[in-house]
A and B are shown apart, each in its own frame.
Chain A
Amino acid sequence: MIVNYININNTFRVLFALFLYASVSLPNVVFAQQRHFVTLEITNQNLKTVLDSIESKTIYRFNYRDQILSRSKNITIKAENMKIDDFLRKILTNSSLTYRRNGNMFSIISGGTKVEGHLQQSTMNVSGAVYGGNRQPLSGASITVKETTEATFTDEQGHFSLSCPPLSTLVVSHIGHTPQEIRLDGTSEVNINLIPNDQLLDEVVIVGYGTQKRSNVTGSVASLRPADFNDLNMNATNAIQGRVAGVNVSNGNIIIRGAASVNGSDPLWIVDGVPGTAPNMNDVESLEILKDAASTAIYGAQGAGGVILVTTKRGTTGKPVVNARYNAGVALPIDIPKLLETPDYIDRKLAAGFTNNPDAGWDDPSSLPNTNWEEYVWRNAAVTQNVFVQATGGSEHTNYNTSGEFVRNQRIEQGSHDMAGNLRFSSQTKFSNRFKMTEILTLGFTDRAPSVFGDATSSKIYYRQVPTMLPYDPENVTGGGWGMQPPGGYYEGPNPAAIIGSNHYNQRRYNGGANVIFDWEIIDGLALQTTLTGRYNSSASNWFQEYWNTGNISQEQRYTKDYGEEFHMRMLHTLTYSKTLAEKHSFKVLAGYEASKTESSSAGGWKTGFSVEPVEDMSLGSGATEALGGKGLRRSLSQFARLNYAYEDKYLFETSIRRDGYDNFGAENRFGLFPSASAGWNIAEESFIKNSVQMQWLNQLKLRGSLGRIGNNTIPQFLYEPAYTSNYLYYSYNNLVTNRGFWFSNIPNAAIKWEDVTQWNLGLDAGFLQNRLQTTIEYYQKKTTDMLYTISAPPSSGAYSSDIFALSPSYVANIGEISNKGFELMVQWKDAIQDFKYDVAFTLSTNDNKVIKLSDQVNPLIWTGSSTAINSSIYRTENGFPMGQMYGYIVDEIFQHQAAIDQLNAASPDGVYQTTGTAPGDFKYRDLDGDNKITVDDRTYIGNPWPKAIYGMNINLRWKGFDLSMAWLAHTGMDIFNSTKAYERNFFGDFNTTYKVYDAWTPENMQTEHPRVTQTDPNNNFRNVSSYFVEDGSFLKLNNLHFGYNIPKKVLSPLGVQGLKVYINCDNIMTITRFQGDPEIGGGYLARNHYTEKRYPNTRSIIAGLNLTF
C-alpha cells in the first residue's frame, strides 16, 4: 500500500527515497562501487520503465514530474558498462527532454526549444588531432559540436574529422583530461592539446571565508596539496619551507614577506575556517598561504603576519577505504660538542693560568675521575614512532573521514619524551539539495616528560660540568648519593646527572573540539554559512624535585602540581550571494560576522617536607606550602564584507573591509577598520590569445595587483589598565605572619592600539606549453606603522618586572615604522616521458628590511640579544638599517709581540690603547674614530642575520612504482653570531670547554685566529661583541630526501589490498656551509641567528615507513 502511494505521489517518492537512502547508505556503499555504470538491455519500453530499472541496478536516482515523461517515445537500447551521462544522452536524444545532474541525483526536465529551433546551416568539414599531456596523441577523445548532437571520436593516432557549421564550437574531452572548447571561426583544421587533470590549474583555492577559482584570484595566494608530497613525515611548517616563495621558514619559525615588526609577526593559522594551530599533515587536504594584504585584510587585525588556511580532509563517497601508516626512525643529535677529558682539562686549565691547588689532585690526573657527561645528558639516538590510521567512505548524502594517530618520540635529552594521541572525526550530511551540515570533532592528549636540563629556557647548560666530578658518590649519603663537586675548587656548578635524576617531571594535556558548519542555500546563489566552534584544553603537571647536595650547591625538595583549563567558543556567520548577469558580469558579495570568547583558569601549588622521595601525594608532606591560581578572559568581535566582480572571467576586481574589535586594546582604540582592494586581468582569456592557433603555447597569463591594510594584535591583554600584584613581595614584621606587599604590576599605556601594516603587491602568473611550465613573479612593499614594541623603561622608574633579575622594567607602546620590500619567483616544470613523471619546482625570495623610524621621544635605539659570557647587547636596531643588526668591534688581528702593543699604547692619549692587561695573543680591535684608543665609539655594524635570498628547490620523480623526492633549501648572504666560541674555545667561569681550545694562540702557536685563553681575559677577547664571533651563515641544505616503492597492484589485489608503499625519509641529512653547527637557526626578530650555549642540539633523522591502503 505504501508502495502504491509512493508510486503515485512523486513528492513523497523523492522524500522517501532520500530518507531510505540516507538510512541505508552506509552499508550500501560496500557494493555500490559496481553500480556506477549502466548495463541494460531494453526493447521498446517507455522511459519510466527504463529509469526504474536503472534505479534498481545502479546508485542513480531520478526525479521528474510524471506528466513530462510522455514526451518521450518508447526506447530500445543495449548498454554495457555505459557511463550514466552517455546513457541518458542517448535515450533522451530524440525526445524533447534533457536532464540536470546533481551528484547521483538526476532531474528529468523539459529540454526547451533550443535544439528544436535550430535551423540547419551550411556545414563544412573540420579535421585535426588531439594530444594529451606529454604531447602523446589521444585516441578515443570525444569531439562534439556544442549545442548539437554531432559527435565523433579520435582514432589511434588522435585524428578526427567531422562536419559542422563554420562558426561552431567544438567540445573536446577525454578521460583524465580537462574538457576544452574551441571556437572554429571558420578554421577547417585544428590541433588540440588537452590538459591532464593532474595539472589542472583552475582548481578551487580556499580564500578567507570562501573559495575562488584559481584563475580568478587577484591576491597573492600560494597553494600546497599535501597529496603531492605524501609520506614525508613533515609537519605543516616544514612542508611550507622552500615550497612557497616569500616565506622564510627557519628552525620552525615562519616569517611571511619579511619581519614586519620588532614585536614579531607570526602568521595566523586558520583551520577549517577558525583560528587554530597547525594540524597533523596526514589530515590536511590543502594549505593556502595568503601573502598580500588584499588576501589577508579579511582577517583584519590578525592578518599582518600573513595567513595560512588549512582545509582538513572530508569524506569521499564510495565504499570505505582504509589507509594505515606506520613509521619508525631515529633522530641523531648533530652538534653536541666533545668536552675535555680529565688530563686535557687539567692541562688546559693550568695553561690558562689557574693555580694548581694541592687539594685538587691535579698532579696525578690518572687518580681522578674522568666522567664523560655527554653520556649522562644526551642520547646517542632518539627513537621515534608514529602510527596513523584513516578511514573514509560514505554515500551521496553522508560521508565521513576519521583518523587516529599515536606518536611516541624520545627527546635527545636522557629521560625525556613526548607521547601523543589524536582522534579526529569529520562527517558531512546533506539534508537536501540546499542544506548541509559538516562536523569536525577532535580529541587528543599529550604526555610529556620534559627536558629539565639543556633546555632553551634553562640556564643550566651542559658546558657547565667538569670531568673530575663523579656522577654518583655512595658516600654522599646526606646529599642524595650524587657525586660531589671536586675538592680544590674551580667548580661551583651542579652535577648534571643529579639534575636529570632528581627531577620527576610529567606534563599532560588533553584537548577536544567540535566545529559544526551549517550550509544553507536559501535561494539559488544565496548561501548562509554558520560555523559554531567549541574547544577545550586542560593540562596537568606533576613535578617532584628531590633534595640533593653536591657540595656548595643544593636543590630544595619540592613537589609542585599545576592544573589548568581553557574553554573557547566562537561563532561565525557568512552570507554569500553570487549572480551572473547577461552571462558576462559575475558578482559575488559576502557579509560576515564573527565573535569569540575564551575563558581559562588555573590552579596549582607546591609543598615541601616529604620524608620519602619522590611521592605523588601532597598530603604526605609536612613543610611549607603555597597555593596559586589565576583566571583569564578574552574576547573578540568582528564584522566583514567583500565584493567580487568579474567580467567574462577576464577582468577581475575584489574589495573587502573588516571591522575588528579586541579586548587587548583600550577603550579609545578598541576597534579598527581594515580595507583592501585588488584587481586582475586574465590576459590569456582574451580572444586574440585564447582563440589563436599560434598562441596555443600560452595557456595562462594573468596580471594582478592589490593594496590593503592589515593589523597586528599580538600583544598581551590589559596593557592599558593599571593593576596591582603581590609578586615577589614578602615581609614579616613580627616573625609569625608573612605579609604580602602590593605594587603596580605594569606601566599602563592607555593609548595602546593596533599595529598597522599597509602592503601593495604586483604579480604575474603565467602557464606555458599546456601548463607544463608555470611561473609566478611577484613584487611587494609592506610598511608597518605604529609598531607594537616592548620598550625597556628606565630602571629608575622602579617599576615591576616579572623577571626578578631583569635590569629594567618594560612596557608596550606603538612606536616607529618599518619597511619590507621583496621579490618572489616561482617556476615549476611538470611533465612525463612515458612512465617517467617528473616535477621540479624552484622558488626564490628576497626581502629588504629597513627600520624607517623608531620612536624619537621614547628611544631611538633598541639594544638586545645577550649571552651570559658576552658583556653587552649584541644586536642593535636603529633608524635606516635593517632590524637587529650585530654591532660591535672589528678584530683586525692578533697581537703577536708586545712591541706592537707598546707602540699603540704610546700613541694613546692616556697611555692605554685597549686595556692595561692587553698582551700578545689578544685581539687588536680597530680604532674606527681615530682617537688612538678603543672605546664604545669604535663599535660598528659587523653582521646581518637576514638572508639576502632564500632559494628552495623541490624535485619529485616517479617511475612505475618508485618515487624519489628531494627538498633543497638555501639561504645566502646572512651571518650568525656564534657566542658559543666563548664557551668552546675558552674557560668561561668554572665551565669545562671543548678540544677547540687547543687552537688558541700561544707563543708556540701564533698562526691562528683564536686568541689566547687565560683565567682573567683582561683584553675581553671572549667578552666583547666583536667580528670574531660573526660567521658566514649561508647554507645549502638537502632538507629532505624521500625514496619510496609502491608494491604493484597485481601482487596486492589477491590479498584484498589496494596499495602498499614502503619508503625511507631522511631529514636534515646534508648541509653545505662554512658554519660549525647547524646554520638553520632563525628565531626572533631583534636578535636573530644567535648560536648560543643555551641551544638544544639539532638533529638529523632517518625514518622508515609503510603506507597501506585497503
Chain B
Amino acid sequence: MWGCSNDFLDVSNPSRLSPAVFPKSIADMEQVVTAIYGQLTQQGLYGKRIFAKGTFVTDHTVDMSWTADAYWNQLTTNQITPDNTYISTLWFAFYKVVNCANTVLLEAGRINTAGFSPEDTKRLSQMKGEALFWRGWAHQHLVALWGEGFAANGDGDKQGIPLRLEVASSPDKLNIPRNTVDEVYDQILSDYTEAIALLPTSWSARENFPRPTTYAVKSFMGQLNLFKGDLAAAKNVLKDVIDNAGKELVSFEDYKDMFNEKQIKFNSESILEINLRNGNSGANFWNSEGSQHALLAALCFENAAGNVESAGWGNIFFHDSNIERFGSDPRLHVAALQPGTPVIMRGANTVVMKYKDIESNYQGWSLGKYIPRNARVGDNPYVGNSVGINMYLMRLADVYLLYAEANLIDDEETAREYINKVRRRAYGLPVNTTAPLVDIVSSGTQLRDELREERFKEFCGEGVQHWIDVCRWKTLDQEIKTWYPNTRVGAPTYNKQDLYYPIPMAELESNPNMNPSTGY
C-alpha cells in the first residue's frame, strides 16, 4: 500500500497480441497467411479501387460520368501528378501484400515446430510457398506499373521499385532505395522458383482453391520471362502449364457468365482467382470479404418511375470508343452492357439504360464484368456494397496468349494457333478445330498487332492486363490517337513518362532514399 518496486511498470498491452504469444500453432500461422489474402480484398486493390480508380481509367476502358474529382480526372487524361491519392493508395496497397508475405516468412522461420505433426510441417512449407509467390506477384505488379520500362524493351537498367524482403520491424529498416528493373525481376524469379518447390500442383479441398498452385506460379513466371525478354524461358514454362495443369478453356456459354453473379467459381479455365463473398461482416463500411468495384462502376437501369437509376454510385461507364473498337466481336457484350439489355432489379424485370448524367451524344454503356445484373449494390444480397463475384488473376486464355506472344518471333504458326484457340471460343466454335471465318492468318507486324487487339478484347474490363500491355508495348500514344482522343473531362495527352505511374509524393516525402520518377 505504501510503495511499489520498479517492476510495477512492467506491463504488456492487454489488448493486443504480442509476438511473444502469437503465432504459436499452425492455426495461428493460418491467420498470418490469411492477412495476405485479406490485403487483396482491401480498398486499394481488388476490394475497390485497382480498376475503377486505377488501370481502367488510365487505359481508357472507362470514361467518367462523375467529373468532380480532380485526381480521378488526372487518370482519365493521363496527366498524373505524384500527389495523386489513387496512385498513392495503389502503391501502398501492393506493399501491404508484400509486408504480410514477409510477415509469414518471418514467423515461419522462427515458430517453434517441436510439437508439429508431419501434416503441420508440410503445411508450414506450403505457407512459405504461398508467401513467396505473393511477394513475387506484388513486386511484379509494382515493377510493371511503376518501373520505368520493361527489360524486354532493353530497359532493364532503368529505375524499378524498392524490393522489400523483410518486415520493416524497426525505424532503421524503412528508407530503402529503388532497385533496377533487372534486380527486381531477378528477385521475383528467385521467389517464384522457391515457391514452385514448396507448393502443390493442385489443391484438393475447396477452401484451398484461392491459394496458388505450382501452375499458377509458373503462369506468372512465364509472364515475367516474357516481360524480361527471355522468350525461351517463357515458352518453356508456359508450355508446361498448357500441357500439364489440366486446364481447358470453358465454352462461350460459360464464358459469358464467367464475370457475373451466375459464374461457376474456380472453373476449368481458372488458374488463380480471388474468392469474394457477398455482404459485409467487417466492422465498418470499408471492410468486407467482397469487392466494392461494382459500386463505382454500377450499371444504370430503368427504375419503376421510368427514370435512369444507377445500381450503385455509378461514377464510370464503358468508353464509347471501345464499342467501335470491338466491332462485331461477341466479347463486346461480355465486357459491356448495351442500353436495352434485360436485367432484374428489385425483383422486377427491367433494362439497362444509357448511363446517367452524360450528354445525349454519348452512347453510355455500362461495364459488364464483375457487375451484378440482379440487384442494386447495397441491396440484398450485396449489403454493405460488397459483391461476391470472384475476380480472375490468371486464366488459361491469358496463358495461351502469353505463349503465342513468346512464339511471335520464331514460330508464327504456334503463335497463330494459340491466338485462334482463344478466338474460336469467343465465337462459340470448337477450340482446337481450325475455323476459317474466325482464324487469324496474318504474319509479321500484322500478326503482332492482331495479337495485341486480341488481348484487348479478351481481357477488356477484367484486370490490369490491358494497361500493362499498353505500357510494355509503348502503345499509349497510338491508342490515344486512334481510339481515345477525348474523354468527358478533357483530351488525354501522351508524354513518355505516362507509361509508368509516378512514385507517390507520400513515399518521396517520407523516404529520403527514394528517387522520384523520371519526368514527374
- Which residues of A does B touch, CB under 8 Å? 355, 357-358, 478, 487-490, 492, 549, 551-554, 556, 571, 573, 593, 595, 606, 608, 623-624, 626, 628, 630-637, 661-663, 667, 670-671, 717-718, 721-726, 728-735, 738-745, 747-750, 791-799, 804-808, 811, 813, 858-861, 863, 871-873, 916, 988-990, 1015-1017, 1023
Chain B residues with CB below 8 A from A742, complex form: 17, 22-23, 28, 31-32, 34-35
Are A1016 and B6 in contact (CB-based, < 8 A)? no
Are B510 and A792 in contact (CB-based, < 8 A)? yes
Chain B residues with CB below 8 A from A916, complex form: 493
Report how far A510 CA is from B413 CA in the complex, Å: 80
Query: Does B114 touch A at the CB level, under 8 Å?
Result: no
Are A805 and B89 in contact (CB-based, < 8 A)? yes
Are B170 and A748 in contact (CB-based, < 8 A)? yes
Report how far A1016 CA is from B69 CA in the complex, Å: 10
Name the residue in B12, B66, B83, B174 with the highest tally of chain A Cβ atoms < 10 Å from its Cβ: B174
List CB contacts (< 8 Å) of B381-407 with chain A.
383-384, 388
When A670-B9, A721-B18 are in contact, do A556 and B169 touch as well, CB less than 8 Å? no
Chain A residues with CB below 8 A from B96, complex form: 798
Chain A residues with CB below 8 A from B68, complex form: 492, 988-990
Chain A residues with CB below 8 A from B100, complex form: 741, 743, 798
When A637-B9, A792-B506 are in contact, do A797 and B164 touch as well, CB less than 8 Å? yes
When A573-B2, A798-B98, A871-B83 are in contact, do A745 and B357 touch as well, CB less than 8 Å? no
List 19 extra interface pairs beyond A635-B9, A739-B30, A808-B507, CB under 8 A.
A492-B66, A492-B315, A571-B2, A634-B11, A635-B11, A671-B6, A721-B18, A723-B17, A730-B282, A731-B37, A731-B38, A739-B37, A792-B509, A793-B171, A794-B176, A798-B95, A804-B286, A807-B505, A859-B509
Report how far A593 CA is from B34 CA in the complex, Å: 49
Chain A residues with CB below 8 A from B14, complex form: 631-633
User: Chain B residue with minimal CB distance to A810?
Assistant: B510
Query: Does B338 touch A at the CB level, under 8 Å?
Result: no
Are A989 and B35 in contact (CB-based, < 8 A)? no
B285 contact from A556, A633, A872, A990, Cβ within 8 A: A556
Report how far A278 CA is from B69 CA in the complex, Å: 44
Report how far A929 CA is from B295 CA in the complex, Å: 46
Query: Does B437 touch A at the CB level, under 8 Å?
Result: no
Query: Does B58 touch A at the CB level, under 8 Å?
Result: no
Q: Could you tell me the distance in whole angstroms from the C-beta of A426 to the nearest C-beta in chain B?
A: 24
Q: Could you tell me the distance in whole angstroms from the C-beta of A999 to the nearest C-beta in chain B?
A: 22
Are A729 and B35 in contact (CB-based, < 8 A)? yes
Report how far A989 CA is from B69 CA in the complex, Å: 6
Q: Could you tell me the distance in whole angstroms from the C-beta of A898 to the nearest C-beta in chain B?
A: 19
User: Chain B residue with minimal CB distance to A743?
Assistant: B35
Are A663 and B11 in contact (CB-based, < 8 A)? yes
Chain A residues with CB below 8 A from B209, complex form: 733
Are B174 and A741 in contact (CB-based, < 8 A)? no
Report how far A872 CA is from B509 CA in the complex, Å: 11
Contacts between chains A and B (CB distance < 8 A), count: 287
Chain B residues with CB below 8 A from A636, complex form: 9
Chain A residues with CB below 8 A from B161, complex form: 796
B83 contact from A721, A748, A872, Cβ within 8 A: A872
Query: Does B99 touch A at the CB level, under 8 Å?
Result: yes
- Which residues of B does A touch, CB under 8 Å? 1-4, 6, 8-19, 22-23, 28, 30-43, 65-70, 73, 81, 83, 85, 88-89, 91-92, 94-100, 103, 161-162, 164, 167-171, 173-176, 206-210, 265, 275-277, 279-283, 285-289, 307, 309-310, 312-315, 346, 356-360, 378, 383-384, 388, 489-490, 493, 504-507, 509-512, 514
User: Chain B residue with minimal CB distance to A609?
Assistant: B383
User: Chain A residue with minimal CB distance to B84?
Assistant: A871
Name the residue in A489, A726, A732, A872 with the highest tally of chain B Cβ atoms < 10 Å from its Cβ: A732
When A1016-B490, A1023-B70 are in contact, do A733 and B38 touch as well, CB less than 8 Å? no
Q: Could you tell me the distance in whole angstroms from the C-beta of A477 to the nearest C-beta in chain B?
A: 10
Are B16 and A626 in contact (CB-based, < 8 A)? no
Are A722 and B19 in contact (CB-based, < 8 A)? yes
6 nearest interchain CB pairs?
Answer: A489-B357, A798-B99, A741-B35, A729-B38, A798-B95, A741-B38
Chain B residues with CB below 8 A from A735, complex form: 265, 275, 277, 388
When A742-B22, A808-B506 are in contact, do A860 and B39 touch as well, CB less than 8 Å? no
Q: Could you tell me the distance in whole angstroms from the C-beta of A944 to the nearest C-beta in chain B?
A: 21
B34 contact from A554, A663, A741, A863, Cβ within 8 A: A741
Main secondary structure of the interface of B (DSSP, over half): loop
Are B67 and A1015 in contact (CB-based, < 8 A)? yes
Report how far A744 CA is from B97 CA in the complex, Å: 12
Chain A residues with CB below 8 A from B43, complex form: 804-805
Report how far A805 CA is from B71 CA in the complex, Å: 15
Are B289 and A730 in contact (CB-based, < 8 A)? yes
Report how far A488 CA is from B4 CA in the complex, Å: 71
Are A595 and B3 in contact (CB-based, < 8 A)? yes
User: Chain A residue with minimal CB distance to B17?
Assistant: A724
Are B506 and A730 in contact (CB-based, < 8 A)? no
Are A595 and B8 in contact (CB-based, < 8 A)? yes
Report how far A729 CA is from B388 CA in the complex, Å: 16
Are B286 and A739 in contact (CB-based, < 8 A)? no
**What are 21 residue pairs bridging A and B, where the CB atoms are less than 8 Å apart in the complex?**
A478-B346, A492-B66, A492-B68, A492-B315, A556-B383, A595-B4, A608-B383, A631-B14, A632-B14, A633-B13, A722-B169, A725-B17, A728-B282, A728-B286, A728-B287, A733-B210, A797-B174, A807-B85, A859-B509, A859-B512, A1016-B73
Q: Could you tell me the distance in whole angstroms from the C-beta of A1065 to the nearest C-beta in chain B?
A: 43
When A733-B208, A805-B43 are in contact, do A793 and B174 touch as well, CB less than 8 Å? yes
Are A796 and B357 in contact (CB-based, < 8 A)? no
Q: Could you tell me the distance in whole angstroms from the C-beta of B508 to the nearest C-beta in chain A?
A: 9
When A663-B11, A741-B36 are in contact, do A749 and B171 touch as well, CB less than 8 Å? yes
Report how far A30 CA is from B214 CA in the complex, Å: 94
Are A734 and B207 in contact (CB-based, < 8 A)? yes
Chain A residues with CB below 8 A from B89, complex form: 805, 807
Are B6 and A661 in contact (CB-based, < 8 A)? yes
When A739-B31, A795-B504, A795-B506 are in contact, do A729 and B9 touch as well, CB less than 8 Å? no
Are B92 and A807 in contact (CB-based, < 8 A)? yes
When A492-B66, A741-B39 are in contact, do A631 and B34 touch as well, CB less than 8 Å? no
Q: Could you tell me the distance in whole angstroms from the C-beta of A878 to the nearest C-beta in chain B?
A: 12
User: Chain B residue with minimal CB distance to A606?
Assistant: B283
Report how far A873 CA is from B206 CA in the complex, Å: 48
Chain A residues with CB below 8 A from B281, complex form: 624, 626, 730, 738
Report how far A72 CA is from B451 CA in the complex, Å: 128
Are A637 and B6 in contact (CB-based, < 8 A)? yes
Are A624 and B31 in contact (CB-based, < 8 A)? no
Name the residue in A628, A735, A989 with the highest tally of chain B Cβ atoms < 10 Å from its Cβ: A735
Name the residue in A623, A793, A794, A863 with the highest tally of chain B Cβ atoms < 10 Å from its Cβ: A794
Are B510 and A794 in contact (CB-based, < 8 A)? yes
Report how far A635 CA is from B388 CA in the complex, Å: 47
Chain A residues with CB below 8 A from B8, complex form: 595, 635, 637
User: Chain A residue with minimal CB distance to B211?
Assistant: A733
A732 contact from B9, B275, B312, B356, Cβ within 8 A: B275
User: Chain A residue with minimal CB distance to B509?
Assistant: A863
Report how far A670 CA is from B6 CA in the complex, Å: 9
Report how far A721 CA is from B17 CA in the complex, Å: 10
Are B383 and A624 in contact (CB-based, < 8 A)? yes
Q: Could you tell me the distance in whole angstroms from the C-beta of A871 to the nearest C-beta in chain B?
A: 6
Report how far A634 CA is from B13 CA in the complex, Å: 9
Report how far A796 CA is from B33 CA in the complex, Å: 20
Report how far A886 CA is from B89 CA in the complex, Å: 26
When A740-B31, A741-B39 are in contact, do A721 and B12 touch as well, CB less than 8 Å? yes
Report how far A635 CA is from B10 CA in the complex, Å: 9
Name the residue in A487, A595, A730, A739 with the highest tally of chain B Cβ atoms < 10 Å from its Cβ: A730
